Amino acid sequence: MMRKLVTAAVAVAAATSVLVGVAGVASAAPAPMQLVIGQSQAFAILGASCGGIQEAVTTNGFGPSTGYPTGVVQMKTSCGGSGKGGGYHSTTYTATADVVWDLTAAVVSTSAPATGAVTDPSYSAFDTSGNEVYNSGTSAFLLLAPTYVPVPRVTGDSVTVGPAAGGTSVTITGTGFTAATAVSFGGVPAASFTITSDTSITAVSPGAAAGTVDVTVTSAGGTDQTGPFDLFSFVAAPTVTSLSPSSGPLNGGNLIVVSGTGLAAVTSVDIGGSYAAVEAQDDTSITVIAPAGESVDNSSLRVTSVGGTASAAYAYTAPDLCGTGCVFTSPATASAFANVPFSFTVSASGYVIPSFTEKGKLPKGVTFVENYDGSATLSGTPVVVGRRAPAGTYRAKVTATFAYGTAVKRIIQQVVLTVS
């Protein structure tokens, strides 16, 4: 039952409150909704909870700018004092907060400590739609007018970005959704939506122009107020207009400049499925490092963003095995003494790490070993065989092989070993 205004001031406040809903068809007399804050919200303000937090709530009307119910919550909890005879010290924690509720009695905001008026237990107020807030003892209530439908209130979106082509499933949270008749993304109706509860709607985004828009919910009560909490960004699919260069060596490592549109939103680039590291990026250009390919063949460079994918042809060519040149970096001569251990390192340089083989006659006790790190070792102790001393000149034909995939480059050096 509607309650009478108790003061002229209340009547004035009610007359200046904002209209935030419209009349609909009444189906049943509305029940009062208690205005409270949750225990977790109370704990966040009070900072303690011993067996629960007691709340004393008084309403002080409707907010002049939002039209939402407002009030003060006084919180208290006592800790300790449980010893025999009450011998243990008891500590009581108290706090106050100004609270704003929406017209479904859900908390909109809290602010501590309270600065608003704490009204008497008989206080009540009406807004211009006939909705009433009133106190009863240490509690406060909201009673909607029989034909009133609250305006929906959106508080968040589960997904805030999706392709401009649409098709993104978004869970919208808020209040007043039971009577929702439409969901829009920047004024474009959702492809579909399902009301899962009074506080949740699942909607599918429509196709729309690229940009950031508000997600809104509409009911017979009106359309929710927009804000940063409801934003959704449509991302256009990227395009690729050219690659420079459009081919590169099989072993990769070269820079490729990708030109196109919508490239600032690109989150990954690959060539033939292999990740290409991004060196620089803006909306019309991306510079990447080509990964190594699997074979000399035509492939495809692909860019991917939330908006979609785009690709262009890229070809792997025979690898650059030598760079500035495949050359031996070790001397062509070595020396040793009979019955004295020695070691000589053979090395070569190119774009890839070479392997080594040796053919020729070596002194007894001397071996040639591949190190598999771009070098080989000629080492050992030249020894006497029978009456034959190892002294003399020995020639070893050393081959360095540079290979990648099916591409091979070989260079040869004659290494002369002199044993004294």
Superfamily of domain 239-317: Immunoglobulins (2.60.40.10)
pLDDT tens string 35-44 = 999 999 999 9
The answer to whether residues 34 and 105 touch, using CB atoms and an 8 Å cutoff, is yes
Strand, coil or helix: what is 189?
strand
Q: In the chain, which stretches have pLDDT less than 70?
A: 1-28, 81-88, 386-389
pLDDT on residue 119:
86
Class in CATH terms, 327-419 = mainly beta
Domain limits, CATH 2.60.40.10, in the chain: 151-235, 239-317, 327-419
Instruction: Name the DSSP letter for residue 327.
Output: E
pLDDT of residue 10: 34
Q: Which fold has domain 151-235?
A: Immunoglobulin-like (2.60.40)
Cα 252 to chain centroid, rounded: 30
The 8-class DSSP code of residue 388 comes to B
pLDDT at residue 387, as a whole number:
62
- C-alpha span between 15 and 26 (Å, rounded): 23
pTM above 0.85, yes or no: no
**185: alpha, beta or left? (left if phi > 0; alpha if psi -120 to 50):** beta
DSSP codes of every residue in 44-88: HHHS--SS--EEEEEEEEE-TTT--EEEEEEEEEEEE--SGGG-S
Convert 330-360 to b/e letters by CB count within 10 Å (16 or more is b).
beeebebebeeebebebbbbbbbebbbebee
